[in-house]
Amino acid sequence: MLRRALVSVEDSADLHHALGLSLIRQKRAEAAVEELRLAASLAPQNSRYVYVYAVALHSTGHPEQAVMTLQGAQNAHPNNVEILNALISFNRDAGNQAQALHYARKLKLLSP
């Protein structure tokens, strides 16, 4: 049904996001990442779409691309707690302790 709707409204970030989530549930991660990428690119003002896309990238073995995506999102949405938490976690997991600490300090400023 989502694919049929996209034929009529191909530039709908909401539909691409919903399809991406559906594909994740179907264990079709690579196809899901592309739909989530489209959603994030069509609606960069929607921090949730960018966050979910970055998490999908990280989960499919693209941690560097996930961090770069989140860094761009953090610049656009500097007070977003989800994005900061993901940046802390992904950098920590990659062994980038200085970067993780940098984002942890930013997060602390938001909720002292």
Set out the domains of the chain in order of their start, with CATH numbers.
2-110 (1.25.40.10)
**How many Å apart are CA 64 and CA 88, to the nearest integer?**
13
Taking residues 42-69, report their average pLDDT: 96
> Is 87 in contact with 77 (CB distance < 8 Å)?
no
More reliable by pLDDT, 99 or 12: 99
* Whether the predicted pLDDT of 96 surpasses 70: yes
> Is 74 in contact with 84 (CB distance < 8 Å)?
yes
The whole-number pLDDT of residue 29 equals 94
82, burial (CB in 10 Å: exposed 0-12, middle 13-18, buried 19+)? middle
